[in-house]
Amino acid sequence: MGKLLISSTYLMLILSCVESCFLLRSLYVIVPEIIPPGYQVTKVETVGCDAKSVQLTVKDPSFTIKSNGAVVALTSVSVGEGGRIFSVSAWDKTERERKMEVHLVRSTMPKRHLGPYPSDRRYWYFIEGEGVDTYPTGVFSMDTDTGDLFLLKAVDREEFPAYNILMIVFDRHTNAELDEKIPLRVIVDDVNDNAPEFVGPLHFTVPEHCSAGTVVGVVSATDRDQIGTDHVKIKYTLVSGSDMFTIHPETGVITTTTNTLDRELKDNHVVTVKIQDMNGAPNGLFATSTATIALSDINDNPPTFMKSSYNVTVQEDESEKLLLRIPVQDKDLIKASNWMSKFVITKGNENGNFRIVTDPQTNEGCLYISKPLDYEKTNDVQLQITAQNVASLNGSSATWQSIPVNVNVEKVDAVRAGLGQKIGLGILTRDPPTRRALTSPHTPTTFSQLFSQSPGREQQTARSVSFGLLGIMTILCPVVLLLLLFLVLVFFCLKKREKLQLHDSGDIGGIPLKSNTEAPEDSMAWE
């Protein structure tokens, strides 16, 4: 009965790998518990070998192998519950050895006297189950006379790793079926026909200027071949980028090898990763892909000023006015807290006359005058402006920068200081902070009196007088009124004269003449 299952079980797997001379790597054969001498255990089939030069040997003294590949027991062999294993080797003219392991599996069917040899043709053999009449169908067939199992088409372990088949045995003489169907399990041996594949995105982020050995990320891969074999043992290597990064060959963990990664110089690094099965052996299948490593920003660059100093002028009576916009440069990530500036007046603003804010769009410092300055108290203010960031400095030995800003205070002249007051009621002095009137509203003051009140300063006062919009209007209004009055008088006179001329011509019945018409020299001119 053992022979019935010998060829039946595993003559089957013609693997996808084709060589000039091919021999299965393993063969499972169901045999009785006691194998008698002369019992043909199995028949070894070679594919593509030179039939004349091929040589077969068996590495077990209890068995021999014939030239046709038949393995026959030389002595009585007992097969334990764990089975028995021996190897068969094949050589042909290529002188390359191929080995196959033969696994003898003890049959669990009840002992029956089936005759010493299956070749006595006492039985018929039929099969059913997976690969025969259920999905996937048409994979196997069996010789009803000999019980040999044949593979009809290629099999894929990744699609169907094993087939469960039932063999039915009939007695030729009685046509009676044996009491039990014999289970056969055909296991598809794995070959390395699947290259490893990357799993998940290959995008990682690491802070710039991080220390060497910082973990960047993990490259994950999978292989469809049989778990536990070298076919799925993957080795990870870096094809490019090894000057700044390294990858663990077994775990796929990428780490840095330097602390000089600078986002401002290069914000993204692209490395090529190779994964190869068979633990990286030359005959292993492999795949490559690129991984992107982005550098996240740290505040390692303080804002820098565009100029070394500034000068600005303000009049002593001005307040809540923008005096100056101070631009800065920052190499850190734009619009982030590492880039956003924060300006501080660190010197010269003890009285709170100034304030500075940041323009969120341009990142400039906007310097304002908050309270009016007094020219008599100070005509020059020295400010110191410091540019900082919203975030603290990190990973850099640089410090916050400062620049001086010189604010010149201008004195307001007398005429401008008096705008809004009645000129006839009095004129103010040049001193706008005091705004002291020279005369009272009840004592009109002339310009000669104004200059006589400050001996020796008439010319200086006269030079300092300037006319604003109100002053110009005050001077122009009388002129415009006089001009209008003149035009009205002219128009009135012309009208009066025209009426007089019309009246005169009506009395004498003559032709009216213009006032500048000369008298004719003689009567012929009238004709």
Looking at residue 67, its pLDDT comes to 82
- Model confidence at 85: pLDDT above 80: yes
Contact 201, 233 (CB under 8 A): no
- Model confidence at 362: pLDDT above 70: yes
Looking at residue 107, its pLDDT comes to 61
Widest CA span in the chain:
181
- Model confidence at 98: pLDDT above 70: yes
Looking at residue 160, its pLDDT comes to 92
- Model confidence at 267: pLDDT above 90: yes
Tokens of 417: 């200081």
Kindly report which listed range (37-46, 152-161, 321-330) carries the lowest average pLDDT score: 37-46
Looking at residue 421, its pLDDT comes to 46
Looking at residue 525, its pLDDT comes to 38
- Model confidence at 1: pLDDT above 50: no
To the nearest 10°, the Cα dihedral for 127, 87, 58, 70?
10
**Residue at token pair 């079980």:** 9
The stretch 103-120 carries a mean pLDDT of: 50
Question: Chain-wide mean pLDDT for the chain?
Answer: 79
Residue in 65, 84, 62 with CA at minimum distance from that of residue 75: 62
Position with higher pLDDT, 521 vs 277: 277
Domains of the chain: 2-187 (2.60.40.60), 197-296 (2.60.40.60), 304-410 (2.60.40.60), 414-469 (no CATH)
DSSP label at residue 307: S
Task: Give the containing element (helix H, strand E) for 377.
Answer: none
Whole-prediction pTM: 0.52
Angle subtended at Cα 303 by Cα 299 and Cα 305, rounded to the nearest 5 degrees: 170
Looking at residue 198, its pLDDT comes to 97
The stretch 27-40 carries a mean pLDDT of: 83
- Model confidence at 210: pLDDT above 70: yes
pLDDT band at 103 (very low <50, low <70, confident <90, very high): confident
The stretch 407-421 carries a mean pLDDT of: 68
Looking at residue 493, its pLDDT comes to 85
> What is residue 473's three-state secondary structure?
helix
Position with higher pLDDT, 139 vs 50: 139
Give the span between the Cα atoms of 144 and 124, in whole angstroms.
5
The stretch 428-433 carries a mean pLDDT of: 44
pLDDT band at 504 (very low <50, low <70, confident <90, very high): low
Kindly report which listed range (2-11, 21-30, 63-72, 116-125) carries the lowest average pLDDT score: 2-11
The stretch 404-417 carries a mean pLDDT of: 79
pLDDT band at 21 (very low <50, low <70, confident <90, very high): low
Give the span between the Cα atoms of 196 and 275, in whole angstroms.
7
- Model confidence at 135: pLDDT above 50: yes
Kindly report which listed range (49-53, 70-74, 126-130, 448-452) carries the lowest average pLDDT score: 448-452
Looking at residue 30, its pLDDT comes to 79
Give the span between the Cα atoms of 494 and 517, in whole angstroms.
17
Position with higher pLDDT, 214 vs 50: 214
- Model confidence at 51: pLDDT above 70: no
Kindly report which listed range (19-28, 139-148, 388-397, 413-422) carries the lowest average pLDDT score: 413-422
Give the span between the Cα atoms of 114 and 118, in whole angstroms.
8
**Residue at token pair 């046709």:** 68
- Model confidence at 354: pLDDT above 60: yes
Highest mean pLDDT among 26-30, 370-374, 513-517: 370-374
Neighbours of 407 (CB within 10 A): 23
Looking at residue 522, its pLDDT comes to 45
- Model confidence at 401: pLDDT above 80: yes
- Model confidence at 43: pLDDT above 80: yes
Tokens of 266: 């290069």
Sheet holding 40-43, edge to edge: 40-43, 70-73, 63-65
Position with higher pLDDT, 2 vs 54: 54
- Model confidence at 477: pLDDT above 50: yes
Looking at residue 5, its pLDDT comes to 37
Neighbours of 494 (CB within 10 A): 9
Tokens of 49: 């070998």
Give the span between the Cα atoms of 314 and 407, in whole angstroms.
7
